[in-house]
Structure 1
Amino acid sequence: MKIVTNWIYSQPIRNKVLVFGILMSSLPLILLSYYYFIHAKGDLEKRINEKQILILNNLSAEIKLEMDQTFQKMQMFTIMNQTERNNRAFYELLQQSDSIEEIVITNHQGLVEKRISRYSLNLAKKDERWYTDDMWYRFQTKERTYGNVEFNSFGQPVMKLAIPFFENGQRKGLGVVVQLQKIIGKISSLRQDHSSYLYLMDNRGKVIAHQDYSKLWQKHSDLIDNSVIGVKEKIQGLDWTLVMEQPKSSAYEPIDKMMQNGLTVVAIATLMVSLISIYAGLYFTKPIIQLDKAMRKLKFGEKFEPLKLEQTDELGMLVHSFNNMSKELQEKSLRLNQEKERLNLVLSGIGAGLGLVRNDYKITWMNPLLKELLQEKQLQLPCYTLVGASNGPCEDCMITCPGISGNADKLITFEGAGGRKRIYRHRVFPLNNKIEGEGEYLLFIEDITEQKEIEEKIVQTDKLAALGLMASSFAHEVNNPLTTINVYAEDLLDRVISGDKSLDQDEMAHYMKKIKDNTTRCKKITGNLLNFSRKTSWSQSSIHLKETVQDAISLVEHTIKKKNLTLKVEFDPAIPAFSGDSLKLMQVLVNLLNNAIDSFKKEGTITIKAIMENTNLVLSVGDTGEGIPEKIRSKIFDPFFTTKPVGKGTGLGLSVCYGIVQQFGGTIQITSEQGAGTFVEIRIPIQKVALKEAN
């Protein structure tokens, strides 16, 4: 059934319109004709049967009446006395009934006593038995007796009738021989039409009267054949059967002819409707076919002229709308191709790798740069293997955790040409308008090697600038222990040369200890200075915050004392060692302390405080200096922005601090009130820093 339905759906509309028109025109006519034919046949058969029954009833009544009249005449004859039943009475009876050809009187034994015949001698043979055995048997018990149909000497069908009567105490019989020619002639003359026929059968099933003489005296069944329409009528007393039949072929001939005429009309109507349907199909489908061809051209990008249709009906409106739509589509297609060309140029020249990733981590598309970076032959590998070199999905990726905030921003390293390692920023963005199976996320991989190198140079520049600004402080810090060393060394040398007897071993050890302590102090100052100025990339290690803060303070301690400032340091003992780059954090603290020192025009206080809030380290540097004017607060993190005079600052300090804190995965916030001071708060999630180290 489904195959037939699909086949019907696949046919052109013009064929469907044609078939629909033919069915709607011919099917009702055929059904009505068939219905009328069936009911007309039944009605005709009923009327024929009614007519046949009426004819048979009348004919059987006439035959019975004929016989009854004959019996009545015979009964009238028997009631005469013996003297009255002379030859004259016999001849009168013959004269009254033309069908009687012989009259006999039989005795109680059934032998003929007297005979009067119309065509033979009136002599009774000796011991002549007039009755047949079965007739004699019926004669003993019935008032009226019928004999079988026989033939006389002329070959005419006759039948014997007999009734009993009593004379002189004896039961005698009056019998007559009746000619049946009149009955046969009546049946033969009663033809209704050329196809129907009427016949009469006796009690033995033999045809004694038929409109077709060739079938006379043949034995015939009294059952009505299915091929004819017929009825039969029993004639009581005679035990004869009247049958009237008409072949169905001839009876239904008018209806068949009418049906043929009806089918001819249906055929003509179907032909006319077919022609109309063909015209209607072409009329309605021609615009649709034109639309289909135009849509195919539009589909394959071929150029075509607007469709022309003179119709102003719905189809005309549809064609008009299609022309407008195709025009807009062609214009949009042209613009889309232009945009596609531009997009391809952008994707190829953007300098970043782009790819589409499905929910199952499969990369379905790459731009040329990403293909070159990841090797296209590895496309079947999941993204976390290609990009992260991991055996499982990344925990902080939005593909793994759709509800996660951010875009999985992380740095990855690939080995480029010549074995040089290059740094890439890897990010993932969800797509709102996506095609299922082609990618639900955009993978963005950007080469930031040069950017990182520039950032390191900026950081190093900031360090060197800070060192330049702190040069006098460093010189003073080193000069003090060197002066002490020089004094102790000269005094010791003079006493040794002069041969001072009081210079004992304990005093010698005191001189050497002073020289060693100041030498160690110089080494520590220069060591911190070298560490601070050393150019390094991000180095993951365990950070002890207290040591890092003390190292940073040692670089600015002389300046703090010189400006007569108070430094307060508060540490939460619960702060654990955590993972990160201690030199980077030290640089942040040095920059913040230098900014705090520069904000003072008189005495004041600088406070360094470190506490734990849940899993976050909160490190703050506050001062009671002049504060930051409100109009420049939005620019303080901009590179090269400074309010200090030339030679006092580069404008990189806070910008570098912001970048380093972001590398720690933390945040930096500055609140300031002009004339009241500035407060800088750094929040570093220690767990995230640890994860960063593990990654």
Structure 2
Amino acid sequence: MNEPSTTASPGKHWGLKAKLILSMLFVGVVPLVVGLGMAFWQGSQEIRDVSGESFKALATEAARKLDLLVAEEVARTSRIANDAAVIRELERRRDLLLGSDKPSAASLAEMERRWRAKDPALVKRITDSPLSALLREYYTGTNSEPDQLLPPVVRTATKLLFLTDTQGVLVAAMTTKPDFLNGDTRWWQGAYNKAVGQLYIEDVHFDARADTHVFTISLPVMDSLRYEVVGVLHRVIDAKEFFSPSTHVIRFGKTGHVMLIDSHGVVMSCPILPTGVALSDMSLVPLITPMQPGWVQASSDGHGGRSTSVIGFAPLPETSRATNGSIDSGSWHTFVWQSSDELFAPIQHLFTWMTVFGTVAIALLASLGYVAASRIVTPVRQLQQAARSIGRGELRSRIRIQTGDELEDLAEEFNRMNQQLEAAFAGLTSQVQLKTEEVQYLQQSTDQILDTVPTPIMLVDARETVQYVNRAARESFRLDQSRSAAVPLFALLPVDESTQSRLRQEFRQTEEAAADGPARNPVPRDPLAPAPDQKSVPRRSELQIGARLYHYQWFRLPGRPGEEDRIGLVLRDTTDESRLQDQLIQAEKTGSLGVLTAGIGHELNNPLFGIVGLGEAIQEEQDVQRIKTYARDIVAQGRRMAAIIRDFTGVATREGSDQRVPVQLEAELDQALATVRTTADMADIAVEKQYAGGSRVLAMPDQLRQALANLLTNAVQAMKGAGRLTLTTRQSADVAVLSIADSGPGIAKQHLSKIFDPFFTTKGQGEGSGLGLTVARRILRKFGGDVRIESLEGQGTTCVVTLPILPPSPEENPWTATASRPEPLPSHSS
């Protein structure tokens, strides 16, 4: 008897000594790492919070100073707008414009052209006017009060300073750079404000005239009564030169600084970024531009870096109120930032030192662990060698370990176990041989049973390889005994590509269902029989192999311990049965068509006799009006005959379709009812419809109508020309349920078990063939459905039809709007 190898290959697993050392290291390292992580996290949080509050305070103070700086410049600019000389001159121009001297649009266009062409006369008239001289005095400080002087920084930052009248026409300027007509600009319209006037401050933008990024201050010049605007004073200021003396001096550390941005994220002043560019990360803008001071921890710094940063911010309240009232403008905010590397450097240095100390502690733990593990592992290895010897049956001497603990007790247990194994091993060999012979006998018996089954059976593994076929399968597919197993499935089943794809999909679904379901079937059963808990009849699977037609079913066969499950395929040859049933259906169709033809002949005779009688009357009639009346009656009778023939032709021409297509169950039911009306007397039968609508099934339309017509005909004949016929459709789970209920006498209890038998009928001689229900059930089962009868004597009969439904299609649902829904009738007892 071969013994399995019990010697472990070196290097394939961790030894006990390594595990003990690693356990000690784990016990020491985990608290150390957790402590380091907590310390680093807590320190980072505290630094972030402290720095954030500091940045917030710094941003608030910087915003206050910048707000005062802008307010002072607005005040200085307003002194020019409030100068009496400026007001008098602009009032004079306003009065001229209100009088007859108002220049026309053509003259203004001509003057604008001359201004652009630098016409000396026009340039001299504007730049050398008294108002222009007054602007220069305010700009240079000549003849001005000390508190009215523009500081040197402000004078160099001011790029343009000019006045316009109430039409936006240039009145006074120090240079020729301003535009002559300004009435259509945003700053002029904002400051003029429909002659009411308001302060207008533009956000930073690039000005081609000043060749730099600027912001502007526009003030209305009010008349002497402060009632309406007589002009607009416009000042263009270099943003960088104006704000840099106040922002660039605020530095802390190596990278910390203050910058000014607007609500669109455009830089107005920054020691690092140029004026006029946008922040590199625009997702920061909504975080740092609220209308109250604060700080935020962002995923970037706005300067191109992608590290986590702490940013303080604060709005310029007074300036923001002015810019918020401006068209296309927003608010201004300070932005305080410091590099994350510099900000978190102290906690990183602390973390580095703690890591060094932790490494020393880990090395000490490893040394102590090695010593302790060596004292434990040595006797364990002796026990391991003894266990290997026992496994090989080679232990001859006793195991001797003297440690005075559980390991010594374990060695004694090994010695006693070795003695018991030697006594028990002698009878084990004979029992194993007996069990092996029993297994071989069971396997042979199973193979013989499967070979006696007349149905082809195959067992397929997960690789789609046939592992077993029974005798019926070998005979059906003409297989040699040498090729009956271990061959590909589709080498035995010669089917096309589409059928192969369908079979593969069903195979995988069966395999997945087997993996999700219970490991063993509790009760063996026939794979072709429906499951006891099956709620609806499944669609029968058909497979065409050559000239033969097979019904097939997949099932799972649990594998033996240590082996994978296999999937079984059962095939049943139904070629002859299908042929016979198709002939039966065709015979029933032919009989139904004969009855239908006789009914149509009866329907055509009445209008035909009327046409003949009217024709004979016309031959002898002299009155023209009466002849016309007879002719109209002939036409009406002819149309009636055409309608009857058209309906019959529509039924007959559809008989040749054998392709399954999606159809509306309610529509097919109505057409079947129309066909029955032509062959049966339904004048005194009330038809009530309760349709759910949208019940789409996959079927052959003509055969489905034939099955429904058979059921309707039985119901109508049962009522003998008078009663109530109720048609109901509903959807349950994945099936459509159709109920055909009549108010007839019902079916006797002793007949219910035979009503689907061929040629069984409860009608009199010549009234029925006994095939209607048989053919109907055959057709419905062909489409994956079924039919059952519920009836009590004296209470009517209900036919319940179930068919698998297709997913609803919006464009194929006419019943949702048109189907009649009367009050539901009381249901029959079942």
TM-score normalised according to structure 2 size: 0.38
Greater radius of gyration (CA): 1
Q: Could you state the TM-score of these two structures normalised by the residue count of structure 1? A: 0.44
State the structure with bigger RCO (CA 8 A, min sep 6), 1 or 2: 2
